[in-house]
Structure 1
Amino acid sequence: MACNANMMHMLGVCRTARLTSSIALPLGADKIGRGFYTSLSSRVKFTRKICASLAQAKPSASGMASTQKKVLVPIGFGTEEMEAVILIDVLRRAGSDVTVASVETDLQIEASRRVKLVADRPISACTEEMFDLIVLPGGMPGSSRLRDSEILENITKRQAADGRLYGAICAAPAVALETWGLLKGLRATCHPSFIDKLSSSLTVGSRVQKDGIVTTSRGPGTAIEFALSFIEQLYGKEKAEEVAKPMVMCTRDGSEVVKHEYNPVEWSFAKTPVGGMPGAERLSNTQSLTKLLREQAESKKAYGAICASPAVVLEAHGLLKEKKATAHPAFSQKLADQSAADTRVVIDGNLITSRGPGTAMEFALAIVEKIFGQEKAISIAEAMVFPYP
């Protein structure tokens, strides 16, 4: 049930911008190019407080990282796929045993942008299990589908009564947790469109809000911080920083995105390989894809890549000749031109490249801005609660 977070970021943003995309997916910041992006470690404000019930059973430092925690991520029709997949991906990177459960009659559900998500099991098969964490992704009508699941409601209420961690993101804090009475007397946040549904005296505007065993977050643009906050609660700060490290490595050193002036070109569509290994190698070995990329470049239409693919696909096939580009730190040394290798998103003419999961949102928004303009990119970013430009 593995998934590429780069792909999910791009798919969600590009579909919001009405770019056509098609994928069947089994589940398993702050400004582009203007020198204002601070490191993820400084944005993600981890708290040091772990709930008393967990603290009493806290293992040794060596045992903490090796102890696998059980996590439940429920999904339903209209779930925000970016939030679900990022939560699953980041928590699994930390070593959690993540169960994806469908509240629908089928295991395969259609998410908010028509991506097909496949759950591990139905929610009814989870009633006897004990979870270290239950976390609800948002989206609409996904959040209401979760809210209306009596089984999920009972499981989550038991989780709260037992003093174990639970949380929600986007619309789910207001639509599900608030409706179930699981935010009483607690500070919480959610997507701005649903903030008025929370208890007004306790509503906060921060991106991620913790209060005891409950953690809430605002939307797709906060999903990585949201997931990392749970890793710290489950495993400790050291493990959270370990998982965040690849994303922190991608952070700019204060330099701006590299941009070059060029004559107007036709941006009718973009070819953009995503990263991940061995995925990038398989893309590089697909002759039909490399042929399309070459034709795209020769006709001066948009093309690009993220993570390992700039080096493994584009560089390997001569598609970065006389171009500035970036790639994941583990692959950036393969780039012939190293002048922009440490930049989060690089735009050079009709080529756009980016570094990895932690830069996927900026990458997708940069593509949208190039094709549809900055106003469209800003409107999408605002809906996703992601600072841009």
Structure 2
Amino acid sequence: MVYVFFADGFEEVEALSIVDVLRRADIDVRMVGLISSVVEGSHGIKVEMDDILADVVFDGSVEGMILPGGMPGTANLINSNSLKELLQKGESAGILIGAICAAPSALAAFNIYEGKRATCYPGFEHKMKHYQLVSDRVVVDGQLITGKGIGTALEFALSIVGVLRDDLLSATLAKNMIMK
């Protein structure tokens, strides 16, 4: 199972692209609202969640945890101590953790997978001091996946599929979605 965490002000395209692509790969994905079962994105789109953070249990079925970006969504992610604790459990268990756009700065605030290669939305680099920043659109370094922004959302999601399942499935999905 993969948890995708939604905070008010999330970037809709990033969050929903991730959920959509993972579900196309038959990966069990749960959309988790930080505090509410309906979360509003940065462009006014409201999305009904599968769960709320208070009800999430970290167990052996969790394969990954993903943070979409957006503002003020990322700031709201950073302000959640419960999310921080859950992500730290995930890091200790060695599961996949991903973040896109501004959200890698939340991982940095929580000290998740420090020292690894990463990317983030331009202008957030100063928040990523304990990472090896690269300018790639999507970066996979072990169990950490980061994406640069909204224009990389599908590549980011397909990279998650590649790590959690295999590159052939990721390539097949990309072909079926008419990606380059």
TM class, shorter-length: over 0.9
2:134 aligns to what?
A: 204
Whole-Å separation in 2 of the counterparts to 1:160 and 1:128: 12
Whole-Å separation in 2 of the counterparts to 1:100 and 1:201: 27
How far is 1:232 from its partner?
0.8
1:227 aligns to what?
A: 157
Whole-Å separation in 1 of the counterparts to 2:129 and 2:123: 14
How far is 1:164 from its partner?
0.9
What's the TM-score once normalised by structure 2's chain length?
0.94
The structure whose Rg is larger is 1
1:81 aligns to what?
A: 12
Whole-Å separation in 2 of the counterparts to 1:177 and 1:214: 10
Supply the AA of the counterpart residue of 1:103: L
- The answer to whether the 8 Å contact 1:127/1:151 transfers is no
2:168 pairs with 1:168: no
Q: Unaligned regions of 5+ residues in structure 2, if any?
A: none
Q: How many residues in Structure 1 have an aligned counterpart in Structure 2?
A: 179
- The answer to whether the 8 Å contact 2:2/2:62 transfers is yes
How far is 1:148 from its partner?
1.5
Query: Structure 1, residues 107-161: CA drift from partner, whole Å, max 9, x if none?
Result: 1111100111111111111134441011100001101111211221111111111
2:84 pairs with 1:153: yes
Supply the AA of the counterpart residue of 1:168: A
Identity %: 37
Whole-Å separation in 2 of the counterparts to 1:212 and 1:128: 20
2:46 pairs with 1:116: yes
Of residues 49, 73, 95 in structure 2, which corresponds to 1:142?
A: 73
Query: Structure 1, residues 279-306: CA drift from partner, whole Å, max 9, x if none?
Result: xxxxxxxxxxxxxxxxxxxxxxxxxxxx
More strand by share: 2
Whole-Å separation in 1 of the counterparts to 2:58 and 2:129: 32
Q: Unaligned regions of 5+ residues in structure 1, if any?
A: 1-69, 252-389
2:148 pairs with 1:218: yes
- The answer to whether the 8 Å contact 2:108/2:130 transfers is no
3-state secondary structure, aligned to 1:210: strand
Supply the AA of the counterpart residue of 1:79: F
2:28 pairs with 1:107: no
Whole-Å separation in 2 of the counterparts to 1:161 and 1:114: 35
List, as ranges, runs of 4+ consecutive aligned residues in structure 1 with deviation greater than 4 Å: none
Alignment of 1:1-389 (within 5 A): 70-104=1-35, 106-129=36-59, 130-174=61-105, 176-199=106-129, 202-248=132-178
How far is 1:183 from its partner?
3.8
How far is 1:205 from its partner?
0.8
Whole-Å separation in 1 of the counterparts to 2:152 and 2:108: 20
How far is 1:247 from its partner?
2.4
